[in-house]
Structure 1
Amino acid sequence: MTATQTAAVPPSLLDVLLFYVEAGCDEAIGDRPVDRTSLLPPKPAAAGGAPRPQTTPAPVTPAQVMPKPAAANPALLSAQAAESAATQLAAACHSVAELEAAIKGFTGCALKATATNTVIARGNPNAPLMIIGEAPGRDEDAQGAPFVGESGQLLDKMLKAIGRDESNVYISNVIFWRPPGNRDPSSEEILACKPFIERLIALCRPKVIACAGKFAAATLLGTTQGITRIRGRWQEYCRDDLVIPAMPLLHPAYLLRQPGVKREAWRDMLTLAAKLEEMS
């Protein structure tokens, strides 16, 4: 077969493949070119249509691959927001009347939604003695005044025994709305109300403070000890420019449950009376 005859014979598919192998081609590809620098595989063209143009995706930035920070605790954010709002409202009040209006209009404490009344204070805001309890109970919620139930009646008798009544005593609580079922107030509820009771003290500037119960003592004096250990021991309430002698007392409700400790409570009342006499 001459060279002219060999050229006239078309090569077989096997001959073509052997040619490409000898030329260094070791991979078979499709009918259309593939951009192998792309991060995403090309989408197939629609049937019967022209092939879609290849697009290069936008580069991935470090911010897209960095792990996202953990989500903040919504309850904690809510408590902090309520405390911040209460602090701003309280600071803007320059009289007891303004503060009472601010407390009644405050919606940052969830207890307000289940309470009948906002319970703030009773007595004389100019009195030398300020007694601060924990939270309103059923009777207080119904009447809108602190310490008016059975424990409040016992407190009035104790005050009367040392020559005190609503004319020379001012009575309030660290919480202004009744916790359902008379349960203990939560830390979030205390945070929401604390700026208001601190502002009330700053406006009244009593000579002596009596903290009735563990929550009042913990909130105002920062103590972590039980009330039975610190009762009757003088401490100091310190806020900004105020330094006021403060006496932790057993709550009257506790005295009703444990009448055997009334002797210790009476000694504390006598100590309280002596301090007021000394300061007058």
Structure 2
Amino acid sequence: MDMTQGPAAPSLRDLEALLDFLQAAGVDGLLEEAPVDRFALPAEAEASRSAPAQRPEMRPDLRPAAPATPGPGVTAPTRAAPVPAPLPGGGGYDGAVIPGEETVVSAREAARSAETLEALRACLAAFKGCNLHLTAKNLVFDDGNPQARVMLVGEAPGRDEDLQGLPFVGRSGQLLDRMLKAIGLDRSQVYIANVVPWRPPGNRTPTPQETEICKPFIARQIELADPDILVFLGAASAKVLLGVQDGIRKMRGRWMTYDTGRRQIRCIATFHPAYLLRSPLEKRLAWRDFLALRQALLEG
């Protein structure tokens, strides 16, 4: 490979991924490559913007002669620069990147460099390869006890989680707490995280590109926490980490194996608490899954 060449131009798929992110974030138009500060515009420009419209075009024989070139000390009128509309929320997206293979590689290298969970949190906080950090209020890294035997993994944080910087603290989190209590556990006895640590705009589903970029971090987080049992809350997290395509109905309730590269971890998938809030009749199946979890803990 010729190392003197510059980086390859982004592919059409990469550009589409960036446009999808900006559209989901509320950007509905592109005006200029660089922002313009209208408060810094010259006074002459502001005056020209507020001046009344010019009269209709005059007959050629009645037009005044063209003014001569301004002499020394005479400043020609300046033309007002276009003023772009402010972006939703008053923020900007100057730090947005085009997701691609290079971004995934950088995520893998950053995750691999972390030797502790605190170092991994710092890596994620400094990582700018996922555009979701531009619209999220907080990094949602973890909650609970990192030394616990059980680790629960969801897909992505929601509004309440984004505000507090903790996973599963909204209505679905309250239901999860009750489900854990029913089998004799609480948050001090489990470790909780998400595949994607930033809230997608409008609580939309993370794109495949966003998930792939964040995957090395959650994989490293599981490796560092090293639990005895993994519980996937919903099919999305199980599909990402196990590489399966089964739906949650087919996947739930049966024991599987997750390979960290160092050891095999027993894992089970169950319904996401948010789904149970919408479909309360499915709680009976989730209860069976949690009973299986309790039995596995008792068996050691």
TM-score (norm 2): 0.68
1:122 CA drift (Å): 0.2
Q: Distance in 1 between matches of 2:10 and 2:199?
A: 32
Equivalent of residue 180 in structure 1, options 201, 204, 209: 201
Specify which of 226, 231, 251 is matched with residue 230 of structure 1: 251
Q: Which residue of the other structure, out of 89, 97, 105, is the alignment partner of 2:110?
A: 89
1:178 shift after superposition = 0.5
Q: RMSD between aligned alpha carbons? A: 1.7
Other structure's SS at 2:99 match: helix
Structure 2 unaligned residues grouped into runs of 5+: 1-7, 18-97
- For residue 269 of structure 2, give the secondary structure of its aligned residue in structure 1: strand
Aligned CA distance change for structure 1 residues 243 and 114 (closer, same or farther; 3 Å): same
- 3-state SS, counterpart of residue 148 of structure 1: coil
Q: Measure how far apart 1:71 and its partner are.
A: 7.5
How much has 1:82 moved relative to structure 2? 1.7
Say if 1:121 and 1:171, in contact at 8 Å, map to a contact too: yes
Partner of 2:218: 197
Name the % identity: 48
Give me the whole-angstrom Cα distance separating, in 2, the residues matched to 1:117 and 1:169. Answer: 22
Is 1:101 the equivalent of 2:122? yes
Q: Which moved more, 1:236-245 or 1:117-126?
A: 236-245
Matched, 1:113 2:137: no
- Is this contact kept in 1: 2:153–2:195, CA < 8 A? yes
Offset of 1:239 from its aligned partner?
A: 2.7
**C-alpha separation in 1, matches of 2:118 and 2:175:** 28
Superposed CA deviations along residues 35-66 of structure 1, whole A, max 9, x for unmatched, are xxxxxxxxxxxxxxxxxxxxxxxxxxxxxxxx
Amino acid at match of 1:241: R
Instruction: For residue 243 of structure 1, report the CA deviation from its aligned partner.
Output: 0.7
Q: Secondary structure at the match of 1:191?
A: helix
> Which segment drifts farther, 235-244 or 143-152?
235-244
Partner Cα separation in structure 1 for residue 179 and residue 187 of structure 2: 12
Residues 72-81 or 173-182, more deviating? 72-81
1:234 and 1:245 in contact (8 A); partners too: yes
Give the counterpart of 2:101 among 58, 76, 80.
80
> Taking structure 1 as reference, are residues 182 and 222 closer, same or farther at Cα in structure 2, changes over 3 Å only?
same
Specify the alignment match of 2:238 in structure 1. Answer: 217
For 1:193 and 1:255, the matched residues in 2 are separated by 26
Counting only pairs closer than 5 Å after superposition, residues 1-280 of structure 1 correspond to structure 2 as 72-73=11-12, 75=14, 78-279=99-300
Q: State the Cα distance separating 1:215 from its structure 2 match.
A: 1.0
Contact 2:111/2:217 (CA < 8 Å) preserved in 1?
Answer: yes
Q: Which runs of 5+ in 1 are unaligned?
A: 1-68
2:287 partner amino acid: W
Q: Secondary structure at the match of 1:145?
A: coil
1:167 alignment partner, SS class: helix
Contact 1:79 1:191 in 2 (8 A): no
Aligned twin of 1:16: none
Detail structure 1 runs of 4+ shifted over 2 Å in the superposition.
69-74, 76-79
Kept after mapping to 1: 8 A contact 2:132/2:198: yes
Looking at structure 2, the residues matched to 183 and 202 of structure 1 have their Cα atoms a distance apart, in angstroms, of: 28
Amino acid at match of 1:82: T
> Does the aligned pair in 1 maintain the 2:99–2:130 contact within 8 Å?
no
Secondary structure in structure 1 of the residue aligned to 2:187: coil
Deviations 1:201-242 (A, max 9, x none): 111100000000111010111110111211111111113122
Equivalent residue letter for 2:243: G
Aligned to 1:54: none
Amino acid at match of 1:129: V
Whole-angstrom distance in 2 between the partners of 1:84 and 1:149: 33
Aligned residues: 211
- Structure 1: distance between partners of 2:106 and 2:205: 23
Q: SS state of the match for residue 265, structure 2?
A: strand
Q: Once the 2 structures are TM-superposed, how far is the Cα of residue 181 of structure 1 from its aligned partner?
A: 1.1
